Structure 1
Amino acid sequence: MKPKIIEWVNPSDTEIVWKYPDEIIPWGSVVIVKEFENALFYRDGKLYGLLGAGRHVLDTQNVPFLSGLVEGLYGESIFRSMIIYVSLRRFQGKFGGRTQTIELAPLLFHGSFYFRIEDPSLFVNKVVGPQSVFTTDELNEYLRGYFNEKIMAYLSSTSIQDVYMKQTEVTERVTMLLRRDFRDIGISLEKVVFEGVDTEGPWRDRLFWMMRGGVQTGYVLQMETVKEVAKELGKSPGAAIGTGMVIVPPLMQPPPPPQPITTPSTAPQQAVPIAPPSFAICPYCGKQVPTGANFCPYCGRRVKWCSKQHICTEEARFCPVCGEELK
């Protein structure tokens, strides 16, 4: 009787895994495994063994691990097992999703990752068998979800400014961290490529100032707080002086010192001009910096000032408050 031939016939370059459809294998069948393939025998949640490239006659003498798979059927010996083929070539996977950065900024991302099956036994034991992913489409969907879950955990602890302005550094860090996760399921992660990142709503405007002026996220949010307070005060009765003018407490600066109390006089009172605040808030450490100082007295970082005495970071090219170009 001619032996049964078991073979993964003409797999494409994109196919990763294939399961032989029949789990009853006649004694003496021949398993053909091509280069860059492995054939694995899996049953009842257990991996029994692996065959590398070559032509293998299935009996317990040629393949000793088959002794645990032998069953008798009508006086004949057969093997009962799944035969799962795994390709060892390099593949491309896709990832993408939505998460939040450490500032709770919405972040949309997508890209590609490149990988190989490094440990087929671990891969089948951890992914293919337990998850019942026996086709390439099912496997790609699983790996996409696995990748997204891991990368979202990392991006949620990263600032949006770093994601946009230090993308190479972030990509290298992501790749290093994800390699450990993929190694746990028998996969070698070779490369990660971000093909697009984006945010939504007001965060696009904030990013403009961060990237153009070189200011920190906290400083931009502080300035927005000032604007919001001014807006709310403008809605209050008696807040307006003239048209469209609002008294705004100097949130970014300490209040001016109290004026000395003078005794009543019959002479007409003259308005005493109030000196402008003599401090501003350091965009790096949040402490008070004397107006016009070149360095923060607390953190030692160099700062700049525009002609309107708004404080700016050393790297800023434009004032984040009035937009004036810095020289």
Structure 2
Amino acid sequence: MVTVIEWVNPGEDEIIWRYPNEVITWGSQLIVHEYEVAVFMRDGKVYDVLGPGRHTLTTQNLPLLYKLVGGSNSPFKATVIFVSMKQFQGRYGGETQTRELAPIKYYGVYWFKVADPVLFITEVVGGQGLYDATDVTKFVRAYFNENMMKHLSMYSIVDLFQNLDMVSTQVKVKLLEDFRRLGLELVDVKIEGVNTTDEWRQRLFWIMQTGNAQYVMQLDTAKQVAAELGKSQGAAIGTGMVLMPQLMQPPAYQQPAQPYAGAGVPPAQPQQPAAPAQPAAQQKEICPNCGNPLPPGARFCPNCGAKINRCPNGHIVPEGAKFCPICGAKIE
């Protein structure tokens, strides 16, 4: 009786299937369906690969194994791994931190397929000792998520919330190389959404308003210092008089040095008239709830309907603020 080796009714998400019997007889019939390949392994090493079709196992189509086992009259031992070459879809999601250490939750979908079955079997199946389809799928998903976390942590929170399409494109390029190392082709990646905590959403609003993440973090530090000083009545006044004015100063702008010829004192630079400050009504305002631009002086966001809190001088202030961070006016 002729033995038939065939992957029957593969599951939708099954990337590989291992033929359960490792004792192979010469003359057996190997059936490989479209979008599949059959890989012959022995002692963790790949020897021969057969593509779609009906194959009678002979010394001609398994030359490398024949050289290893010798003789064509007796059975030989080998592991047959079927690999699906079709496109697969996977979902991902996780948590990481941005450049400012802001906690970020993200989720989305990606598509991939096996491009190099020999490399894939060598690196994933043989290299990791994963011969079960479920274990291989879990490994690929974990591998994708681990690299996604690493790449997203290189961006700022403003990039993720304002330029998500750009970030998705750049991250995809990096993930392509990560997947190529496993013999996989990453067809596409879509970041469907990102989110952060309520505290960092407030910070994001001020970073987008001022364009200066360092100053926003400096103000947060000042609040924390003030809270700690309030716990120690004796040292609070003296220490606060020294620390607080320094913490409240905006970061100084460093004027780049201008080269000049000769030694000694550089020539004086002509004074340029300072550009008049824009009125608050003309500055671009952003909704703290949804991040969309606001019309000048708006009391409600035309995009999400959120109420816009303003100080008596018209500046936008965060929810619960007692004083305006721009002009210092008391909020009634």
Please report the TM-score for the alignment, with normalisation by the length of structure 2. Answer: 0.71
1:250 deviates by 6.0
Of the three residues 160, 165, 179, the one matched with 1:163 is 160
Identify the residue that residue 223 of structure 2 maps to in structure 1: 227
- Does structure 2 retain, via aligned residues, the 8 Å contact 1:69–1:80? no
- The answer to whether residue 31 in structure 2 is matched with residue 32 in structure 1 is yes
Paired residues of 2:89 and 2:109 also in contact (CA < 8 A): yes
Residue number among 108, 111, 116 corresponding to 1:111 in the alignment: 108
Q: What's the counterpart of residue 67 of structure 1?
A: 66
- Displacement of 1:87 in angstroms is 0.6
For residue 249 of structure 1, report the CA deviation from its aligned partner: 2.4
Q: Which residue of 1 aligns with 2:182?
A: 185
In 2, are the aligned partners of 1:233 and 1:248 still within 8 Å (CA)?
A: no
Decide which of 73, 85, 90 is 1:88's aligned counterpart. Answer: 85
Paired residues for 1:281-320 under 5 Å: 281=251, 285=253, 294=275, 304=278, 306=280, 315-317=284-286
203, 206, 209: which is aligned to 1:206?
203
CA distance in structure 2 between the aligned counterparts of 1:85 and 1:104, rounded to whole angstroms = 44
**What is the aligned partner in structure 2 of residue 152 from structure 1?**
149
Any conservation in 2 of the 1:31–1:57 contact (CA below 8 Å)?
A: yes
2:324 is matched with which residue: 317, 322, 325?
322
AA in 2 matched with 1:46? K
- Work out whether residues 206 and 220 of structure 1, in 8 Å CA contact, stay in contact via their aligned partners in 2: yes
Divergent runs of 4+, >6 A? none
> Aligned partner of 1:8: which letter?
W
Partner of 2:140: 143
Higher helix share: 2
Provide the C-alpha distance between the structure 2 equivalents of 1:324 and 1:100, rounded to a whole number of angstroms: 29
Q: 1:70 to 1:231 in 2, by over 3 A?
A: closer
Cα gap change, 1:237 to 1:89, in 2 (>3 Å): same
Count of residues in correspondence between the two structures: 271
One-letter amino acid of the counterpart of residue 75, structure 2: I
Q: Partner amino acid for 1:123?
A: F
Question: For the aligned residues, what is the CA RMSD?
Answer: 3.2
Q: 1:316 to 1:223 in 2, by over 3 A?
A: farther
Alpha-carbon distance between aligned partners in 2 of 1:204 and 1:286, rounded to the nearest angstrom = 29
Q: Is the 8 A contact 1:70 1:77 kept in 2?
A: no
Give the corresponding residue for 2:42. Answer: 43
Q: Distance in 2 between matches of 1:223 and 1:286?
A: 20
Report the Cα distance in structure 2 between the residues aligned to 1:80 and 1:175, rounded to whole angstroms: 41
Change (3 A) 1:134 1:294: farther
1:108-141 deviation per Cα after TM superposition (whole angstroms, max 9, x unaligned): 2222211010111111111111212223311111
Cα separation, 2, equivalents of 1:281 and 1:62: 72
For residues 56-110 of structure 1, the C-alpha deviation after alignment (integer angstroms, 9 at most, x for no partner) is 11110343233135367xx941121111001111101232222222212222222
* Greater alpha carbon shift after TM alignment, 47-56 vs 62-71: 62-71
Once the two structures are TM-superposed, the CA of residue 323 in structure 1 deviates from its matched residue by 7.0
Residues 215, 316 of structure 1: 8 Å contact kept: no
In structure 2, the CA distance between the partners of 1:305 and 1:232, relative to structure 1 (3 Å rule), is: farther
Distance in 2 separating the partners of 1:187 and 1:204: 37
With 29-38 and 158-167 compared, the bigger mean Cα shift is at 158-167
1:144 Cα offset (Å): 1.6
Give the whole-Å Cα distance in 1 for the aligned partners of 2:126 and 2:162: 42
Specify the code of the residue in structure 2 equivalent to 1:216.
N
Which residues of structure 2 form unaligned runs of 5+?
238-242, 256-272, 287-314, 318-322, 328-332
Aligned amino acid, residue 67 of structure 2: G
SS at match of 2:125: helix
What letter is aligned with 2:10? P
Matched, 1:8 2:7: yes
Q: Helix, strand or coil for the counterpart of 2:59? A: coil
How far off its partner does 1:34 sit? Answer: 0.8
What's the CA shift for 1:13? 3.0
Evaluate the alpha carbon distance shift between residue 105 and residue 11 of structure 1 in structure 2; reply closer, same or farther with a 3 A threshold: same
> Identity of aligned pairs, percent?
44
Work out the CA distance in 1 between the residues paired with 2:84 and 2:74: 30
